[in-house]
Copies of this chain bind each other. A is one copy, B any other.
Amino acid sequence: MKNHRNTALKLLAIAGVLLGGMGCTLRSEPMQVKDLPSWRDTDARERIIDFVEVVTDPNSTQFVPPENRIATFDNDGTLWCEKPIPPHFFGILARFQELTQEDPDLVKQEPFTSIGEFIETQDPAALKLFIDEYHDGELLKVVGQLFGVPFANMNVDEYAEWYAQFYRDWEHPTLEKSISGLTYQPMLELLDYLRTREFQVFIFSADEGAFLKLLSNELYGIPPNQAFGSTIKTQYREGEIIRTEDGEWLDNWQGKPEMIQAHIGKRPIFAAGNSNGDFHMLEYVHLQPGPHLSVMIHHTDEEREFAYDTHTDQLLPYAKKHDYLIVDMAEDWDRVFSE
């Protein structure tokens, strides 16, 4: 008996070495764990699972091969909390303050005047530059003033270092969470769920892509080359990439599907967003002949997060009319934050 065991153990060991040596890796996915555990047993969870099961079933007429399983997500208000202002804006405001402390005369000029007023009053109306009525020609100007001006002439390594420092000990003013604690647990689970089904997940945000790339892996396990957003013009000079103050691309509205196509070269079959800026991305997914799912995250949870319908007047009625999956955060999520 002892001999049997010895032989068997040796063979098992040999098998282990062989498999290990040939690059065998064990997926860390635990067995028997419920999919999307922080999603309640409502229609929302069921619709996501039904969709994913159908497109990944080789026997289904709706089967989509892995290389075409593209899912794109908005970030602010979709993957993490955007209230009272998107997390990145705390960094931007701090940088504006830093600059005006160094040179107080800056407040005499825009965007420093408006930003300074906002910091003092906390009144969004002070952000004259960034309020609702954008006109076509001014959009890239806003991108430049918001993302470009505060970090102009830094090289990309200095930019990365500035943000790493700033968010190291930063905490959300009311939620008392670190930056990684602002992500939505059900959405992290959704990203994982899709990835284990061989989806490729991407972020397309109106926020600056260069900022998202610094955090996308830590926050979402999404590599920086799959996280995109608005861009600032840069200049290559002798081994360095220098930031300018000029906006180059606004990744919002029509800009989202245009950027998706330019970067991925394929139309996503799944997309999630939460406000009007995501309208065209979700519509691009919706208006295709093949299987697809457009998801709107609806902020209905006053108690655990914030309840609001700002910038949803275009998206929400369209989403209802065309049977998008509208996720009711209060109803559909058992837990909101990841930490």
Chain B residue nearest to A21 in the complex (CB): B31
Given contacts A8-B11, A15-B15, A238-B287, contact A209 B25 (CB under 8 A): no
Q: Is residue A283 within 8 Å, beta carbon to beta carbon, of the partner chain?
A: yes
A231 interface residue (CB < 8 Å to B): yes
Q: Does A33 contact B (CB under 8 A)?
A: no
Q: Which residues of B contact A29 (CB under 8 A)?
A: 22-23
CB–CB A22/B12 < 8 A: no
The reply to whether A19 and B19 contact each other, CB–CB distance below 8 Å, is yes
For chain A, give the interface size range.
Answer: 35 or more
User: Is the CB–CB distance between A287 and B8 below 8 Å?
Assistant: no
In the complex, what's the smallest C-beta–C-beta distance from A277 to chain B, in angstroms?
A: 13
A145 contacts the other chain (CB 8 A): no
Q: By the criterion CB–CB under 8 Å, are B239 and A258 in contact?
A: no
Interface residues of A in 59-79 (CB under 8 A from B): 67
**Given contacts A8-B11, A280-B236, A241 and B264 within 8 Å (CB-CB):** no
Q: Which of A268-288 touch B at CB < 8 Å?
A: 280, 283-284, 286-288
Contact (Cβ within 8 A) B23 A23: no
Are A22 and B26 in contact (CB-based, < 8 A)? yes
Which residues of A are at the interface with B, using a C-beta cutoff of 8 A? 3-4, 7-8, 11-12, 15-16, 19, 22-27, 29, 31, 67, 156, 200, 202, 209-210, 213-214, 217, 223-228, 231, 234-236, 238-239, 241, 254-255, 257-258, 261-266, 280, 283-284, 286-288
With A8-B7, A217-B67 already in contact, the answer to whether A262 and B225 are too (CB < 8 A) is no
Do the beta carbons of B24 and A210 come within 8 Å of each other? Answer: no
Which among B19, B202, B210, B225 is the interface contact of A26 at CB below 8 angstroms? B19
- A160 (CB) vs chain B CBs: closest residue: B265
List 5 A-B residue pairs with CB atoms under 8 Å apart, sorted by A's residue number: A8-B11, A67-B223, A236-B258, A241-B261, A263-B263
B residues in contact with A213, CB < 8 Å: 265
* Residues on B with beta carbons closer than 8 Å to the beta carbon of A224: 264-266
Q: In the bound complex, how far is the Cα of B7 from the Cα of A132, in angstroms?
A: 73
Known: A12-B15, A19-B24, A67-B223. A261 touches B283 (CB 8 A): no
Question: Contact partner of A234 among B7, B25, B228, B262, CB < 8 A?
Answer: B262
Distance in angstroms between the alpha carbons of A67 and B226 in the assembled complex: 13
The 8 residue pairs across chains A and B that have the minimum distance between CB atoms: A239-B287, A213-B265, A23-B27, A224-B265, A236-B254, A8-B11, A236-B257, A241-B261
Complex-state Cα separation, A29 to B24, whole angstroms: 12
Chain B residues near A225 (CB, 8 Å)?
200, 202, 225-226, 263-266
CA separation between A144 and B255, bound complex, in Å? 19
Residues of B within 8 A of A261 (CB): 156, 234, 241
Collect the chain B residues with CB atoms within 8 Å of residue A210's CB: 262, 265
A200 to chain B, nearest CB (A): 7
Q: Distance (Å) between the CB of A16 and the closest chain B CB?
A: 8
Closest CB of chain B to A244's CB: distance in Å? Answer: 11
A262 touches B209 (CB 8 A): yes
Docked pose: A235 CA to B262 CA in angstroms:
11
